[in-house]
Amino acid sequence: MQCIRRQPTRTKSQESLYRAHIKTIARDNMKLLVLEGDRDLQFLMNGGDLLKVRSESWKKTRYFKLQEDCKTMWHESKKTLKTKQTFSIEDIEEVRTGRQTDSLRKYTEETLEGRAFSILFKGRQKSLDLIASTEEEAKKWVSGLEKVISSLNNLSSQKKTEHWIYSSLRKADKNLDNKMSLKEVKSFLKDINVEVHEDYAEMLFKECDKSNGGFLEGNEIEHFYKILTKREEIDVIYGEYAKTDGLMSANDLLNFLLTEQREEVSQNDALQLIEKYELDENAKAKQQMTQDGFLMYLHQPEGLIFNQAHKSVYHDMNQPLSHYFISSSHNTYLMEDQLKGPSSTEAYIRALLKGCRCVELDCWDGSDGEPVIYHGYTLTSKILFKDVIKAIKEYAFKTSEYPVILSLENHCGVEQQKIMAQHLTSILGSALVTKPLGDQMPTCLPAPEELKGRFIVKGKRLDKLENAFSDESKMADEESVSEEEDDEGDEENNEKKSGSLKLAKELSDIVIYCKSVPFHGLEDSREKHSFYEMASFKEGKALKLAEESATEYIRHNTDKLSRIYPGGMRTDSSNYNPVPMWNAGCQIVALNFQTPCLEMDLNQGLFYQNGRSGYILKPSYLRERDTEFDPITLTKGPWLKRKTLHVMVISAQQLPKVGKRESAIVDPIVKVQVYGVPADTAAVETSYIKNNGFNPMWNENFQLEVCVPDLALVRFLIEDYDSTSDNEFIGQYTLPFNSLRNGYHHVPLLTQDGNLLSSAGLFVHIMVVDTE
């Protein structure tokens, strides 16, 4: 039988010391977050009871409290072996007021609306659905959490590092005496992901122990921190350009910006950077930048690798929809796999918040006359169609104001189709496109700019769009669509349907610009299909067209939309490589957003530009009807803009541990990968650094040739090297080749779920030069 370890009891004097220690830590952290004296924060730190809701029968009271580091929530559990549980505030995606999750809507009464709130986490961690004692308390919990999240997000990279190291130092101080013994220093180094030789640890300790007392305290700990966070590479770069009494004048900084960063700037720009980021008031008064100010600048958006001009909408948004790559999701309702995983409105919310502009709704007849969404013929759970439309309406335009396409997979009978149409029109209201935008029959698809804040339904239609402008024969309330037209009905099911599908006129009439039609070849499509008629392609079919008939397929995609979806064998919701589809001009390349993977990294990287609008204007040679571009053969043409990418991988900072062993230290290795046309696809990698995830340094140079930069993506990947098995993922960052900035830059790192890794980063030097 396993023993349960009890917490050691403290004497009165020890308890008093402990409480004073905790107060000091809490005060310091409140000050760092600029929340000193904030009542909502104090409420969180005092803690209180909340009712935790999991199911109809599982509703239990738990005590929640913000810990003194101001970034960890503690709550008690009644499990014998797990009396305390914590989660980091940095792991919270959103705090949502009211009964807005599937669980709260299903398992609580409407009368609790004002007392309910949910904490939603990044990645696949389950949300916390909570009920406060009063509406006033619920507001305090939500307000307090939102303030802490906002303050943590607004900390500079340098402050985040300080906060993290400071918290680790406190954690290592086991006996709470505000001193660090050699043993505690070694423990601290392991905590921050660096393992040093015994002799080096002792040498470092002795160098800082100026008082020879056998421990570090006060200024000695500060000195230890400075040695630890010293960036030799920054010393070298700064020293090269700081030519004015050991500091950087505005002219020195301008010289750096022109020479190294290759920026088109003036002295006024350099002065603005000094004003913005220099912390030393004396240096600022002299219009100079210290090394601390210089490092601060390198950690800010101006110092990051992604071109800041590309963070806002900079593409022409007035071209037809067919001229854009559109961020698109497949099986959007699923949180996990497509055999038995849960369906949830939360999956739609997450996809939309990531900038997704085309979501899939797999609709089936439900009980009580209400259509449901789930993965047909599987054990995936069901959600109400109307709840999904409500969630889509609320979250559709929070990240991007450009149009959302609702891709209907319609398996419903006529009666519930009418209910679907009713929910769409009543819930979405005037935002739903129910007729062509102009007074006359259009000749091409509308532009994203014209459709801001609007919803477009993709599905089957009983007649031609032209009939909307004709007073000719009125159709019956319902008609049949032949099996041949039912192009997507067996998209996910291998069995072939027979006969015909009856389609309700009400649902048919709101399909305007995205009418689903079968695909019988490029020539047939060219001769018979209108611009508003679009086909869906299984990944294998699309890849074959992209490889064997690339130019013809590209021409097809200049005026018609193509939707690509994963093959039916991907029951684990894995993804296919989207790059060959983009190279062929396919717009709606639908991926499983719920699955963290390389393919989703590429999708996130492509759509991070242009204001995360979810729409990326295709290069001109993918928009011209008479284009000769072929990504496979790469004949001469305007697409060939040969570049050489010079990359120096210099260092990394504060990499997280991987795996479950707390004692394990990572051996980081960096890979630089290019994805694009086949000729450009390449990868290089550094050697690995043993036992150092805190401040590894490589200083390794690489060179990559790129022929078609418009279609290339660059991915920086850091892994924990393992000689006997696969390397483990640490972090990655993907961006368009054309969004790279020259010079010395920090590369932010993302988790497998695409969330920012706080404090961690990669430092590189980039130089892109024309080869021709």
Among 160, 224, 140, residue whose Cα is nearest residue 32: 160
How is residue 72 annotated by DSSP?
Answer: E
Neighbours of 595 (CB within 10 A): 22
Q: Provide the token pair at 621.
A: 């040679």
Helix count and strand count (H, E) for the chain = 22, 30
The helix (H) or strand (E) run that includes residue 373 is strand 372-373
Among 446, 346, 266, 288, residue whose Cα is nearest residue 100: 346
Order across the sheet with 128-131: list the strands. 82-88, 72-79, 59-66, 48-53, 128-131, 116-121, 92-97
237's CB contacts (< 8 A; 6+ apart) are 256, 260, 744
* Residue tagged active-site, from 315, 375, 423, 765: 375
* Residue tagged active-site, from 330, 423, 745, 746: 330
Decide: 608 and 679 in contact? Cβ < 8 Å.
no
- Which amino acid appears at position 605 of this protein? G
CA angle 444, 417, 419 (to 5 degrees): 110
d(CA 247, CA 254): 13
Residue with tokens 């009543």: 426
Q: Provide the token pair at 578.
A: 């989207």
Per DSSP, the three-state class of 212 is coil
Q: Is 725 left (phi over 0), alpha (psi -120 to 50) or beta?
A: beta
Per DSSP, the three-state class of 772 is coil
Cα 675 off chain centre by? 19
Per DSSP, the three-state class of 89 is helix
- Has 746 been annotated as catalytic? no
d(CA 28, CA 90): 19
Decide: 302 and 745 in contact? Cβ < 8 Å.
no
- Has 330 been annotated as catalytic? yes
281's CB contacts (< 8 A; 6+ apart) are none
Exposed / middle / buried, residue 352 (Cβ in 10 Å: 0-12, 13-18, 19+): buried
Residue with tokens 């036992």: 691
Residue with tokens 């009983």: 462
According to DSSP, the residues that pair with 729 across neighbouring strands are 719
The helix (H) or strand (E) run that includes residue 189 is helix 182-191
Per DSSP, the three-state class of 762 is strand
Gap between the terminal Cα atoms of the chain? 74
Helix axes 157-172, 291-299, angle to 10 degrees: 100
d(CA 630, CA 637): 10
Cα 239 off chain centre by? 37
For residue 107, give Cα distances in angstroms to 53, 299, 350, 385. Answer: 8, 46, 22, 18
According to DSSP, the residues that pair with 756 across neighbouring strands are 750
DSSP-assigned letters across all residues of 246-308: TBEEHHHHHHHHHHTS-----HHHHHHHHHHH---HHHHHTTEE-HHHHHHHHHSGGGBSB-G
Decide: 764 and 647 in contact? Cβ < 8 Å.
yes
Q: Provide the token pair at 156.
A: 């500079």
Among 61, 29, 33, 34, residue whose Cα is nearest residue 48: 61
Q: Report phi then psi at 305, rounded to 5.
A: -75, -25
Helix axes 232-241, 250-259, angle to 10 degrees: 110
Catalytic center residues = 330, 375
